[in-house]
Structure 1
Amino acid sequence: MDGITVKNLLNNRPHLFATNPVLSGENGLHRHVKNINVMEVPDVFDWVLKGDLLLTTVYSIRDNPREQELLIPRLRERNIAALGIKTKRYIKKIPQVMLDLSNQLDVPIIELASNISYSQMISEMLEETMSFNTRALVSIQEKIQRITNTISFGGDLLSFLYTVSHALEQDVIFISAKNNSISTNQKAIKITLESIQMNLPLMSAYKMNDATIYYGDGHPFEQSTHIIKIPGKSDSLGYLATWGHESKFTMNVCTILQHTALLLSLQLESDNFIQSTKENQQNQFLYKWFLDEEWDKKDILYEASKLNMTLHNNYIMYFVSQSQLITETNQIILRTQLIQKGILTLFLGKDIAILIPYDYYKKNSKSFFIQLSSLLKNRLKHSNILYGVSTMKEIEEVNVAFIEAKDAVRMGSLLGTSNDIYYYDQLCYYRLLESLSKQDQIKNSLVELIDPLIKYDYKHKSKLIETLFHYFKTNCSIKDTANSLFCHYNSIVYRLDRIQQLLKMDLNNAQVNFQIQAAVRTHYFIMKMRDSK
C-alpha cells in the first residue's frame, strides 16, 4: 500500500503536532507515511525503512554539527517520509543547515507537539495509517470490481476504457499489436505502437508479479504516463497507457493497472471483443465528426478511409430523442439494418444520431421516416419518441446538422403539439421567438402588451393566456379552441371578449392580432423553456 501522505496525516491528527508544524521541506508533503520509527541513537540509519516517519528529539546529535549536516541527506537516501522533531526539550531551534538541506531535498521537517508522549503519538499515527490503508484497499477493490463488471455485463472496449479512466482519473488508450488504437481522448488516437515501444527504454520500470509497469513524464503523451503490456497466449496483444497532469506513480495505480491488463488480456483473446474494437473506432470517428467544430473535410475523409468507410458529399441528420436507454442488442440490430442503406448511426445514451446520405433521403424521405419510426417503435416497445431533422449539409458541416436536428427536437417539444417529427427549416418562427426571448428589451416590449392578462390570470386563477395561445394555435377557430381546452363554445367566446376588454384591443384587427400573437407565443415559449430547465 502507498500509505497516507504527510499532509493528510497533519490534517487528520493536528493535535499531535505544533500549531504551525511544517518547518521546512514543504514540497515533500506528498510523501507517503507507511510506518512510524524513533531515532535517539546516532546509527539509526541501519534501521530506517522507506516511508518511515522518524520521530526524534535530536538528542544524540545535539552537539555534533557534522552529524546534523549529514542527517537529512542520509535520511533522503533511505527515502523516509518525514522527520518529526520535538523542539522544547533538548534543542530550542532547528539548526539552519538541517532546514536548508530539508528544503533542497524535499524532506519535510515537522515540529511535534511537546506535551504528548511518543507512545501516544506512535499509537495514533499507526491507527491513522492503518485506517487510511483500509479505506484505500476498499476503494481499490471497488474500482477493480467496477472494471470487471463492465466486461461481465457485456460492455464493449470503449466502455471498458472509460471505466478504467474514471477509476484512475486519467485518460486511457489501448494500442493493439496490429497498431489499431482506441482511446478516451480523441487527441491520443495518433499515438502509434512504434512511439510507445521507442519510449519504453526511456521510462522507469516497476515489476509487479509477472507484469512490468513503465512510468515517466512526457513519453509520448507530454504528461505523466503509465504503460503496461497486455500479454497474450504466445505474444503481446498490445499496450495499455494512462496519462494525466495529476498522474503519479503509486502502488494503488499499479494494482489497478495490473488487474486491468489481465482482464483485457482475457477479453482480447475473444474474437468478438477484437471485432468490437473496430466498431468502437467507428463510433469514436462518428462522435468526433458529429460533435467536433474544428475538423476539416480533408481530415474527415482521411480518418474515414482508415476505417474503410465510404462517405457521400451531402447529408441530412436525424436526431432521435426517446425516454429509455437502448440495449446493446437493439443497437446492433438498428445499426445493421441502417448501414445496409449507407446510413450511419451513433448511439448517445437515450438518444440516436442518424446520418443519411442526401441522395437517398431525397428519393425516400417519406417512406424512410415511416420505416424508421416503425423499426424504432418495434425495437424500443414504447411510443414516446421525437425526431428532429436538419437541413442538408456538406461533409465538413455535419456537426452543424447535428446541432440543427437536436435543436429541432428541443424546440419542437416545447411547442406542445401532437407531432413527433420536427424539421429545423420549418421552425424558423420559433427560432426567432427563442432569439427574442434572449433579448430583454424586445422581450419586455412584447410581454408588456399582454401584461394585463398575466396579472388578471394571477389574481383570478384564470386561463386567459392559455386560451389565447390555443386560439392562435388553431388559426383563430373558437370551435377548435374549445375542443383543445375541453370547454364549452360559449366559455371561449366569453373569455375572448374579456381579453379584448382588458387589452382594449380588437383581435379581429390583423395588425393587432399579429402583435398580440407574437407577444403570447414569446411569453408561452419563455415559460416552456423555464419549465424544461
Structure 2
Amino acid sequence: MENLAKDSASPAQDLPSTMRMRPASQLARGLSVAEVLELSSLAGTQVLAGRSGLDRVVQRLNVMEVPDILPWVKPHELLLTTGYPLRDTPEQLARLVRDLAQRELAAVAIKVGRYVETLPPELLRAADEVGLPLLHLADDVAFDDILNQVLTDILNRQAATLARSEEVHRVLVNVILAGGGLAAITNELPALLDGGVMVTTPDGRVLARSGLSSPTLRDTTYFTEAGDRFRVERFKHGVRALDDEGAQVAQVPILAGNLDHGRVVLITDGRAIDDSDVRVLERVAATAALVITRDLAVSAVESKYQGDFLRELLTGRAGETQDTVRHCANLGWDIDRPVVVLVAELDAAAPEQVPAAGELRPAHERFASAWSMVVRERDPQAAIAGYSQEVVVVMGADCAEPRRRGAPASAARADAATATETAATVQSEDVDRLVRTMVSQVAGDGGGGRRTFATGVSRVVHGPAGIPAAYAQAQQAARVGRQVHGTGAVANFDSLGIHRLLSLVPDGAELRGFVQETLGPLAEEDGAATDLRTTLEVLLDNNLNVAETARLLHFHYNTLRYRIGKLERMLGPFTRDAHLRLNLMVALRVVRMRGVVG
C-alpha cells in the first residue's frame, strides 16, 4: 500500500501552480479540488488518481456511511469516507467511481489502510479515465476539521461575491438617480470588474465604453478591421461564456420586454471571466435597459417633433426662410450653408428576414440611430430624421473636404468672395467619397443580421430654398441606383446620366416596345440572346475596341470578330452607324435598369 501511494501520488504542496489554481469561472460556485488540497486541514493529503479532475468544483461535503451511497450524493460534493462501508466489496469500487463521476461528484477522499488495505489497480485506472480525483487522507486528519474549514471558505467566498454585487448595485443606483446615461455606467465599471466594459447595439456598434486598452481596440479578434463594430457573433452570452476555459470575454443581452436593445460586454486583460462577473453584467444589463428605455422615451418625443419639422422643410412648407433658419438653429441644425441631402432607403427584406410583429419599429430605429452616430461624428449640426422606410440627412457639403475642415485659422478668415467661390466648387466626387465611407460604416460587415439599403445623394445646394429640390434628387438617386445596381446601391444624382431620364418614363410597355424594336432577337430571355447581349454591351462600353473587348470577355480575337459580324446581321451596321449605336446603348441601359426583356 505504501509503495502504491508513493508511485501514484504526490503531496498537494507539490502540485504545479496551474493545478493548484482554481479556474476563475468557479469563483462564486465554490472551491476547486486543487484549492481544497491547499487548506491546512488536508495537510499531507495525496492524490492517488484522477489528477485531470483537480479543477472540479467543490460546493458541499458529504460523509459516506453506507455502501449504497449513490442515491444520497449530489453534484459538486467532496465525499469523505474511512472506507468502512466498502471493506467487504472492494471489487465494486471501480464501478462505484464511474457512477460517482456520472453524478458530477467533485472528489472522493478516503483513509486507506484502516478498513480498506489497498486500492485495486482497476479502481485507479477508472478514476484516471473519468477524471475523478481520489484523495488519500492522512490518518490524523479529522473529518470535522475538513467540514468546518472547507464550508467556512466556501461561505466566505460567497459572502464576498454578494458584497461585490451589492457594491455594483449601489453604484448603478447612484448613476440612475443622478440621471446618468450609458457613458456614466461604463465609466464606473472598470474598477469594479477589473476589465474594459462597453455597451453596444445588438449588432455590435459601440455606444459607450471605458477601460479598454488601445491594443484591445485594435485587436481584430474583438473588433472588425474598420474598428466600427464589436464582433458580438463570436462570443457566447451569459454563463455560457464560462464553458470556455480561460475565457476573457463575456456579454449579456440588454432586454426590455421582448425587445433586444444591445449588449453589455466585459473584456478582461489577462484574467479569466468568472461567475460573479457574469452576475454583475446581468445587473448592469438591467440598469442599461432602464437607461435606454428612458432615453428612447425622451428621444421618441423629440424625434417626432424634429422629424415632423424636417418633413415640412423637405416639402417646402416650413415657412419663411429666416424663420426656418432660426428654428433649425434652435434644434441644433445649420441649414444656412452649402448642404447636400442624403436619403437611405431600406431594401425589401427577404421572407426569412421579416421580423415578428412588434419588432419592425425597433429595427428601423436602430437603422436611424446608426446613421445618426455616423453623421454626428462628421457634422454635429446636420439635420437627421428616420421615417418608415428611409433616413434623411441634411448635412454640410464642406464636411466632404478634409482639407477645409483641417485648414488653419487664417484660411477661415478669408474674404467672403473667396469663401463663396470655394463653397461653389465643392466637388461631387468628394461628397460621393464621404457618403460611401459613411455607408460602409452603417452597413459594417453585415453582422447582427443587418438589412441592406440603397443610398441617394443630391447635388450641393446653397441655402434652405434648395433643400426640397435636393430631397427629390436624393430620392430619385436612391430609387434609380437600386434599379441599376441592385440592393445596397449608392448613387449620386449627378452620376445618374441617362438613367435619370429613363426613370421618368412611367410607361413600361413603351420601354418594352423600344427594347424589342431596337434589340430584336436579343430582347429574348434565352441563354444565347443573353450571351450576345453581354458581348454587345461590353463592345459598346469599350467604344468598339475589339482587342480590349476580347480580353475582357476572354475570347479569341477572331471569335469576337465573328460575333460582331453575327450581331450586325441581326441588328444592322452599328459599327458604322452612330445613331444605331446610341439606340442600342439606350436599349441595353433599359434592360439593365428595368429588366425589360422577353
Q: For this structure pair, what is the TM-score category when the shorter chain's length is used for normalisation? A: 0.3 to 0.5
Higher strand share: 1
Taking structure 1 as the reference length, what is the TM-score of the superposition? 0.44
Taking structure 2 as the reference length, what is the TM-score of the superposition? 0.40
Find the structure with the greater CA-based Rg. 2
